[in-house]
């Protein structure tokens, strides 16, 4: 049985710092507030849907049309993609991006210091996953996957972060200049490194391979830079659907796409992870904002 907000409160509430709420359509979320930092994370998918450091605009984009309903993927925030990225390799009936983002995760602990940390777990067959979220001046996310089966397993994973931007046509992503990529809008064709920052002027859906650990989303119109520092994650995925595809997505719509860009931390395609029995792998991302 999923725990209600009241049950979670009696175990984990820190008054005024970590509060729990039942939402209109049957989901439960933790709402965090500490020293001017605010954040939200849903038990479903352990999905962060908001983070705002003191005095800053929201950094995480969540669609105003998102579906907050049991078993439905929430559009925006930081969905956890696991154990496959995109469509399942062989089973067209299996959910896109795996089952972790719509599964109900267990909350195992909450702690508050300068930042507020929440620890979640999920134990699908053959795996043991833990996910640590820390809301502070930085947003820190760490996903650990342990192979709990008796055979070697391979999987893909991503922290599918949606960032709030002034206008996707005015931002650039730096750090990917030397990386080759797979272009999903060109039938998965592979392209060599572009040698220049990535800017957005059409539908963009790319898997960059073997990427460096420091990237940035530069947003001069809002005079800010979103700095992304990752570890244990070789891939970076960049996505914006552009108006036509956005309009066809009921939970995004024709009016929301300009204000978002996905720059995702992951291990997908050639960078998928293979783990021996008992083996574990950790992937982290640290997100900060500065004046650019």
Q: Give catalytic residues, as residue numbers.
A: 160, 264
Encoded one letter per residue, x for contact with ligand TA6 by CB under 6 A and - for no contact, window 38-77 reads -----------------------------------x----
Q: Which of 45, 77, 86, 117 binds ligand TA6 (CB under 6 A)?
A: 86
- C-alpha to C-alpha distance for 292 and 282, rounded to whole angstroms: 29
Facing residues of 18 across strands? 14, 32
Side by side, the strands of the sheet bearing 47-52 are 18-22, 28-34, 37-42, 47-52
Cα–Cα dist 124/109, whole Å: 19
Cβ-closest position to ligand TA6: 239
Among 13, 65, 184, 258, binds ligand TA6 (CB under 6 A): 184
96 is a contact residue toward ligand TA6 (CB under 6 A): yes
* Structure tokens given for 59: 């950094």
CB of 226 to ligand TA6, least distance (A): 17
Tell whether residue 127 is a contact of ligand TA6 (CB under 6 A).
Answer: no
Whichever of 32 and 262 has its CB closer to ligand TA6, that residue is: 262
Interface map 229-258 toward ligand TA6 (x if CB under 6 A): --------x-x-------------------
Torsion from C-alpha of 59, 65, 66, 71, nearest 10 degrees: 180
Residue 147 in tokens? 């192979």
Q: Does 97 bind ligand TA6 (CB under 6 A)?
A: yes
For residue 179, which of 224, 238, 232, 228 has the smallest C-alpha distance? 238
CB of 205 to ligand TA6, least distance (A): 5
Number of residues counted as binding ligand TA6 (CB under 6 A):
11
Residue recorded with tokens 């579906």 = 67
Beta-carbon count within 10 A of 214 CB? 12
Phi–psi pair at 45, nearest 5 degrees: 75, 0
**Minimum distance of ligand TA6 from residue 97's CB (angstroms):** 5
For residue 264, state whether it binds ligand TA6 (rule: CB under 6 A). yes
Residue with Cβ nearer ligand TA6 (142 or 261): 261
In whole angstroms, give the CA distance from residue 42 to residue 157: 19
Q: Please state the closest distance from residue 262 (CB atom) to ligand TA6, in A.
A: 6
Going by the DSSP 8-state scheme, the letter that residue 103 receives in this structure is S
Residue 174: burial class (beta carbons within 10 Å; 0-12, 13-18, 19+): middle
Does 206 engage in binding with ligand TA6 (CB under 6 A)?
no
Q: Which residues bind ligand TA6 (CB under 6 A)?
A: 73, 86, 96-97, 160, 184, 205, 237, 239, 262, 264
């Amino acid at each position: 049985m999923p725990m209600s907000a009241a049950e979670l409160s009696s175990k984990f509430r820190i008054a005024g710092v970590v509060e729990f709420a039942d939402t209109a359509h049957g989901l439960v979320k933790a709402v965090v507030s500490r020293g001017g930092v605010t954040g939200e994370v849903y038990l479903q998918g352990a999905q962060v849907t908001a983070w705002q450091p003191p005095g800053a605009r929201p950094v995480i984009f969540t669609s105003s049309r998102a579906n907050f309903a049991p078993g439905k993927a929430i559009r925006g925030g930081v969905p956890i993609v696991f154990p496959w990225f995109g469509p399942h390799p062989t089973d067209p009936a299996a959910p896109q991006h795996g089952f972790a983002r719509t599964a109900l995760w267990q909350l195992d602990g909450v702690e508050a210091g300068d930042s507020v940390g929440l620890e979640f777990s999920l134990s699908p067959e053959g795996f043991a996953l833990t996910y640590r979220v820390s809301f502070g001046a930085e947003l820190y996310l760490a996903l650990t996957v342990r192979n709990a089966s008796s055979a070697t397993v391979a999987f893909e994973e991503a922290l599918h972060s949606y960032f709030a931007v002034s206008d996707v046509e005015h931002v650039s992503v730096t750090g990917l200049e030397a990386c080759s990529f797979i272009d999903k809008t060109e039938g998965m064709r592979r392209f060599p490194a572009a040698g220049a920052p990535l800017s957005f002027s059409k539908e963009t859906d790319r898997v960059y391979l073997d990427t460096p650990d420091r990237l940035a989303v530069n947003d001069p119109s809002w005079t800010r830079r979103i700095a992304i520092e990752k570890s244990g994650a070789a891939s970076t995925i960049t996505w914006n659907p552009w108006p036509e595809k956005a309009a066809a997505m009921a939970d995004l719509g024709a009016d929301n796409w300009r204000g978002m860009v996905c720059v995702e931390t992951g291990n997908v395609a050639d960078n998928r992870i293979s783990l021996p029995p008992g083996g574990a792998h950790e992937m982290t991302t640290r997100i900060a904002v500065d004046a650019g």
